[in-house]
Amino acid sequence: MATAYRSGWHFIDLVTAIPHSGDSLMVTVFGEPVVVTRDDDGDVRAYRCLRRPRGAPQPVRCAVRYGMIFVNLDQRDHRQVAPEPADIRTIATPRSA
């Protein structure tokens, strides 16, 4: 059942919990430790903490909506692909008088 909910967005906390650059928040989502931090630019980012030795934190999709922080642990690629511009040519034919 937990696998079905991994693909959804999960509420973590309010952005007021990490007001300053460098502040972080450690939470557990479905048994996985996740660190939510505010970087030097003021952006909120989330990382999955790997349990392997010397493992680098894996970025997690993170969104801030209405002052609330949400994360999504789904590892599938959800980047939006821009459609290729269609080769549209407008051909105008003059009307006969």
Which residues, 6+ apart, have CB-to-CB distance to 26 below 8 Å?
A: 33, 34, 35, 36
Confidence of residue 1 (pLDDT cuts 50, 70, 90): very low
Confidence of residue 38 (pLDDT cuts 50, 70, 90): very high
Judge whether 38 and 13 are in contact, CB under 8 Å.
no
- Partners of 69 in the beta sheet? 13, 64
Per-residue pLDDT tens over the stretch 68-80: 999 988 876 555 5
* H/E segment holding residue 48: strand 44-48
Confidence of residue 58 (pLDDT cuts 50, 70, 90): confident
Average pLDDT, the chain: 77
